Chains A and B, each alone.
Chain A
Amino acid sequence: MKIDNDNELVRNFIQGDESAFNLLVRKYQKKIYWHARQMLGDHLDADEVTQEVLIVMYKKLHTFNFQSNLYTWIYKIVTTRSLNQIKRKKLMRLIPFEFSKENEIVSDYDIVENLVQKEKLEKVNLALEKLPIKQRQVFIMRNFDELSYEEISEITGVSVGGLKANYFHALNKVMRMLNEK
Chain B
Amino acid sequence: MAIEYKKSLAVFDDFVGVEDAEALLEWFQKNPKGKVNFTTCTHIHASNLQVLMAVKPPVVAWSKDEDLQLWLEPLLR
Q: Do the two chains bind?
A: no
Residues of B within 8 A of A (CB): none
Residues of A within 8 A of B (CB): none
